[in-house]
Amino acid sequence: MRRWGGRSRFKNAVTEGRRASHRLQGGVVVLVMVLAAHWPIFCPVTICSAGSPMSNYEAMIQPSHNTDGTLTAVVVRPAHGGGPAHWISLLLPADVAQGHPAEEAGRFFLARCGAQSPQERQENWHFYLRRPLTVAGHRPAPQELAPARGEDQPTEWRLLLPPLDDPGARWLAGLPPGAPVNLLGPFGQGFTLPPQRRNLLLLAEAPFVPLLLPLMDAMLDRGGRVTLLLPGEAAMESALAAQLPLAVEVRTGEPWAALPGAGWETQLSELLPWADALCGIIPAPHRQTLAEAIRRHRFRLEPGYAQVWVEADLVCGVGACLACAVEVSGGGVTRACVHGPVFDLVRLCT
């Protein structure tokens, strides 16, 4: 079986503009207009109306680098998933993957939504902001999509869509196999696994576990051990459970809201002294509680021990609009799209 080697919440365009305008007292509106005229981050997507999967690689639109600095990706598998997390699989040029899938996990692309024809690319700005697609691993493309001899085999990327209450995300979720998507990226900082670490503890709600699959594979490949701790008693869907490596231990604890609770505290008291690395997707209200638990069971929270993926409004990818501002320890602010969205827990908690 081929392994993967591994929300940001957007409202409609009017709501986004109002929120950003209020935050920066109108400055971001001017910035958006300038960037729309001069930078391809706001360039539209080229989309085809293919209605069914294509098995002949040479007959389908191929992933490529564009002259304006964007990427053309191709839908391999349309949106799938359930609950708060939906995923889409895209083909990208082989050279986009610069490192191990575990190093890409948590980074993101920005996708142009809504435009299909050249005329629409000039005039249709209903979705005037790109939508973030968070990386949950990549692997060589399926053999049936093998390129002609002498060409590099493209890479299949699994990406987390924004919540489907956003119209741009729904547009992306409705794309059929073979449809192209215009992307920028990847941006941001992903998870890292120092080479000397061998015992990995993962924390996440079940729908977001696929974001951590590349970390599981990377740790097991080096001979390490992995434990996944899920909040709450709800079991994972069978399709998700089937994706987990057999060597991963899965435990359940109290819901996030119960921190610190008897069930959760018992699990952490056993796992934190054992783990020499922790990666997770932790709701913002509970990060400080986790940091205190680490100090209680490990005496101190050391830099490099715990990393968390932070939900933020990832709009521009370069930190220019400040919509992704995240509070850090000491009262400062940083930009998730540049210095995150994966952060060392030390940076976020006092």
- Asked whether residue 181 is domain-assigned, the answer is yes
Count CB neighbours of 286 within 10 A: 21
- Asked whether residue 5 is domain-assigned, the answer is no
Are residues 34 and 176 part of one domain?
A: yes
E strands along the chain, which residues?
A: 64-65, 71-82, 85-92, 108-111, 131-140, 155-160, 180-187, 199-203, 225-231, 249-253, 277-280, 306-309, 325-327, 333-335, 342-344
Are residues 291 and 204 part of one domain?
A: yes
Are residues 339 and 288 part of one domain?
A: yes
Count CB neighbours of 304 within 10 A: 13
- Asked whether residue 192 is domain-assigned, the answer is no
Are residues 137 and 30 part of one domain?
A: yes
Mean per-residue pLDDT, 164-189: 93
Indicate the residue among 187, 209, 231 that finishes a domain: 187
- Find the domain containing 54 and state its range: 13-187
Percent of the chain with pLDDT over 70: 73
- Asked whether residue 1 is domain-assigned, the answer is no
Measured CA to CA, the distance from residue 98 to residue 129 in angstroms comes to 26
Q: Is the pLDDT of residue 41 over 70?
A: no
Q: Is the pLDDT of residue 290 over 70?
A: yes
CA–centroid distance for 312 within its chain: 11
CATH number of the domain where residue 205 is located: 3.40.50
Comparing 82 with 65, the larger pLDDT belongs to 65
Question: What one-letter code names the amino acid at 275?
Answer: A
CATH number of the domain where residue 179 is located: 2.40.30.10
Mean per-residue pLDDT, 179-196: 93
Residue 101: strand, helix, or coil: helix
Phi then psi for residue 234, to 5 deg, are: -65, 135
Q: How confident is the prediction for the chain on average, in pLDDT?
A: 80
Ranges 38-52, 86-100, 266-280: which has the least confidence = 38-52
Are residues 141 and 69 part of one domain?
A: yes
pLDDT at 203: 93
- Asked whether residue 294 is domain-assigned, the answer is yes
Q: Is the pLDDT of residue 238 over 70?
A: no
- Asked whether residue 290 is domain-assigned, the answer is yes
- Asked whether residue 7 is domain-assigned, the answer is no
Are residues 331 and 251 part of one domain?
A: yes
Any idea what the Cα angle at residue 54 is, between residues 167 and 125, rounded to 5°? 25
Task: Supply the DSSP string of 190-219, one letter for each residue.
Answer: -----TT--EEEEE--GGGGGGGHHHHHHH
Mean per-residue pLDDT, 313-322: 94
Mean per-residue pLDDT, 183-212: 93
Q: Is the pLDDT of residue 336 over 70?
A: yes
Look at the pTM and tell me if it is higher than 0.85: no
Closest CA to 173 of 113, 129, 121: 113
Are residues 33 and 176 part of one domain?
A: yes
pLDDT at 254: 64
- Residues 89-134 pLDDT 10s: 999 999 998 877 888 999 999 999 987 555 666 777 888 899 999 9
- Asked whether residue 36 is domain-assigned, the answer is yes
Any idea what the Cα angle at residue 90 is, between residues 143 and 306, rounded to 5°? 110
Are residues 182 and 223 part of one domain?
A: no
Mean per-residue pLDDT, 143-154: 69
Are residues 161 and 17 part of one domain?
A: yes
Query: What total of structural domains would you count in the chain?
Result: 2
DSSP symbol at 262: H
Are residues 219 and 176 part of one domain?
A: no
Mean per-residue pLDDT, 176-187: 93
Ranges 51-65, 78-92, 203-217: which has the least confidence = 51-65
Indicate the residue among 132, 166, 187 that finishes a domain: 187
Indicate the residue among 162, 187, 212 that finishes a domain: 187
